[in-house]
Every structure is written in structure tokens, then in C-alpha cells.
Amino acid sequence: MTKTWVITGASSGLGLDMARQLLAKGDSVVASTRRADLLSDLQRQYGDRLDVVRLDLTAVSEIYGAIDDAFRRHKRIDVVVSNAAYGLFGAAEELTTAQIDLQIATNLAGSIHLIRAALPHLRRQGGGRILQVSSEGGQIAYPCFSLYHATKWGIEGFIESVAQEVKPFGIDFIIAEPGPTATNFGANLVRADALDVYEQTPAGDVRRAIGDGSFVVKGDAARTVAAMIAAAESAAPPLRLTLGSTAYASVSAALSARLAALAAQKEVAESADRPDL
């Protein structure tokens, strides 16, 4: 049975790959982008099965209107993919207030409002799926990506809670956590002006690794997208979907270290309880 999908950030990267794969297999796509012209070739190829919507996720009122209109036009939408995001690169001290505010407005607040806009429609139609494209960076952290991590850790916490709230309505969430993947993510990084004082620090090491190409990118975009689609179409989708060997290794190491640190604090943790209970 064919499905209808909403995909934000569908004009590039994983969002564009997903739109192509879904359309090729016969599904319909509502593709949101800030530049509709970037999807003109796909529009000509697939006609009415591709519904292109101009949407800026930092304009909150646009999000609710666009989602309301999409459900009205298509009657039923099976999967909402919250994909639009970008990377802000620089040590925390190097970032400007405007850069910080825009990163949060796009990656975190935009995703929150998209999900909130979709929930009443999914609830009324008897269920559906929401696929949030996060990152290994929702579970681990690299230097120079502090605000990007803040948005990804933030949206994952939001979804952890909301998933419990709406499970009785047949609404499932999937948090996709790809590792470094061959897309245009790196080329589209917004970079802060570097401070010399960070040159010989872990922040400087990461800056050099990205600059000289020694930061290894193992993830394949098409395979990553195919795994996301398969999860969204499965009978029992996972809440978290880790994608790529780099992500698996780094998330596993981070969670193991966190659990070990927690176990070491058991006695201190229990000492904070009320003594009369």
C-alpha cells in the first residue's frame, strides 16, 4: 500500500535522498523547503505525487499553517519526517548570539513546533509515525559543535516524553541517529570566527581535522535513508535507530562510560534520600 510522507528540508542532503527513494517506489511526498526551485526536476518527473511547500522553520506560524494545509489536501499523511537542520561550528565562546538563536530556532524549536502541529491530525486519523532525524550527536558530543549538540540532545529529550504521551493514540516516534554521512552537511556548516586561543585545544584539533579532510566519513546517504524508511514502515519501529558503524561505536562507548560513572555513584546517590523513608 502506498503512503504519503511529509519531509522537511527536502531539497538537499538526507531529505532529498529520502524524497527520491519514496517517489521512486510509488509513494507521495509533501516536500518542504525554503527554495522550491531546487525540487523543480523532481516535480516535473513525478507530477502530483510531489507536493512542494515553501516553509521556513523559524517562522512558527508558517509551520502550523503548512501542516494543516498538507493534511487537508492529502486527507491522510502516514509519516512526518522532521529533517530540516544545519550545523553550527565553533567553540562556544566563538559563537555569536545571533548564531546561537538561529540554531536553536531552526533545529530545536522548529522541530518541536512541527511535531506539535502534526499531533492533532495524526491523533484524529487514528495514528501515524513521526521520524525525527537527529544524529549520533544526540547521544555524544564533539568539540566545536556545542550548540548543534544542544539542539539534538534537546529534541531527543522532548520526543522521549511526547512518545509516552501519544502512544495510546497509535502514534509512534523514531529518532534516527546517523553518524558522519556523505551529504552536504559539512559544506553547509555555519562557521564562527575562530579565536587563536583555541588553536592548540581539542576545538582546534577538530577544526583542523575537518579542514584537512582527515575526519573520516563512513556513512552512505542512500543506505542511511533506506534504513530510515524501512524503520518507519515496520510493524514495531524502534524509538532510536543508530545508523553507521561510527555512530554505533561512539554511542556504545558513550553509554557504557555513562553507565559506569553512574554505577560508581550509587552510594552517594542513595545517601541523598530522606532518612525517614
Which amino acids are annotated catalytic? Answer: 148
The pLDDT value given to residue 19: 96
Cell of residue 143, nine digits: 568539540
> CA 6 → CA 49, 78, 89, distances in Å?
12, 8, 28
Domain boundaries, the chain: 4-248
DSSP designation for 187: T
Mean pLDDT of 223-248: 96
User: Could you tell me the pLDDT band of residue 189, with boundaries at 50, 70 and 90?
Assistant: confident
Class of domain 4-248: alpha beta
Per-residue pLDDT at 91: 97
Q: In terms of Cα–Cα distance, which of 18, 255, 259 is closest to 138?
A: 255
Query: What average pLDDT does the structure give for the chain?
Result: 94
Cell readout for 186 is: 559539512
pTM: 0.93
Residue 177: predicted pLDDT: 97
Beta-carbon contacts of residue 136 (< 8 Å; ≥ 6 apart): 177, 178, 179, 180, 242, 244, 246, 247, 250, 251
Longest dimension (CA), the chain: 71
| pLDDT given at position 203 | 95
Q: Which of 148, 122, 144 is nearest to 135 (CA)?
A: 148
Per the CB < 8 A criterion, the answer to whether 169 and 121 are in contact is no
Closest CA to 34 of 129, 98, 106: 106
Q: How far apart are CA 58 and CA 40, in angstroms?
A: 23
Per cent of the chain over pLDDT 90 is 87
Residue of 28, 25, 32, 42 lying closest to 7 (CA atoms): 32
Phi-psi region of 198 (alpha: psi -120 to 50; beta: other; left: phi over 0): alpha
| pLDDT bucket at 188, cuts 50 / 70 / 90 | confident
- pLDDT at residue 101 greater than cutoff 70: yes
Expressed in angstroms, the distance from the first to the final Cα of the chain is 56
Kindly report, residue by residue over 73-84, the tens digit of the pLDDT. Answer: 998 999 999 999
pLDDT band at 47 (very low <50, low <70, confident <90, very high): very high
Q: How confident is the model at residue 35 (pLDDT cuts 50, 70, 90)?
A: confident
Rounded to 10 deg, the angle between the 13-24 and 221-233 helix axes is 60
Please check the confidence at residue 241 and state whether its pLDDT lies above 70: yes
| Mean pLDDT (whole number) for 175-202 | 88
Average pLDDT over residues 190-215: 90
> So what's the pLDDT on residue 105?
97
Strand ranges inside 115-159, DSSP E: 128-133
State how far the alpha carbon of 248 is from the alpha carbons of 22, 137, 157, in Å.
Answer: 26, 12, 20
pLDDT(1) > 90: no
Over the Cα atoms of the chain, what is R_g? 20
